[in-house]
Structure 1
């Protein structure tokens, strides 16, 4: 990656971090609380100086998910509908669905 700044303990240029680093761990989330991209909730908890905040349901049109392969920014709504990047086809880790409520309010 070249253009987007991703904070936290990343281990490569595709947003993988010390917590999640499989071939499919190629997204970063822009946190609602600070507007900064982090690879995961643990990275934010360990390195930010504030608690994490969720994106409200009424802000699903915000571009808040970054594909670490091609740097395409997805809206929250788009990310929640796909299993791979719509721009480059990189597969996303389906296990991330287990943590959705850490980043986004759920209905």
Structure 2
């Protein structure tokens, strides 16, 4: 699905990147997976896509844009996303703060 000019794959529910796995009002980000360079709403959608090369973003690449705000379409660098306190720096939309519990599925956290 094309969302704000970006291809987002997965089991999408709406145009703000919510999917069948995560669909609260604040579940409005998609993350570009390092392994396939494709945006997905969540790790479950990525897993079901069949990508066999799952890899997380290495810390030395955290300046790359890999998080898409489903509200306004702004792409955030990983560093900016991790520091944004669950709010888009461009449109002020709130992101689900619970996503931080899954950061290790996407980013090198150790």
TM-score under structure 2 normalisation?
0.94
- Unaligned stretches of 5+ in structure 1? none
| Structure 1 segment 82-93 matched on structure 2, within 5 A | 82=84, 83-93=86-96
Match of 1:19 in 2: 21
Q: Distance in 2 between matches of 1:86 and 1:64?
A: 15
Q: Distance in 1 between matches of 2:4 and 2:62?
A: 26
- By percentage of residues, which structure has more strand? 2
Runs of 4+ in 1 over 4 A off after TM superposition: none
Q: Deviations over 1:66-94 (max 9, x none)?
A: 00011100000000001200110110000
Match for residue 79 of structure 1 among 71, 78, 81: 81
Superposition deviation, residue 52 in structure 1: 1.9
TM-score under structure 1 normalisation?
0.96
| Structure 1 segment 1-107 matched on structure 2, within 5 A | 1-82=3-84, 83-107=86-110
Q: Give the aligned length.
A: 107
RMSD: 0.9
- Unaligned stretches of 5+ in structure 2? none
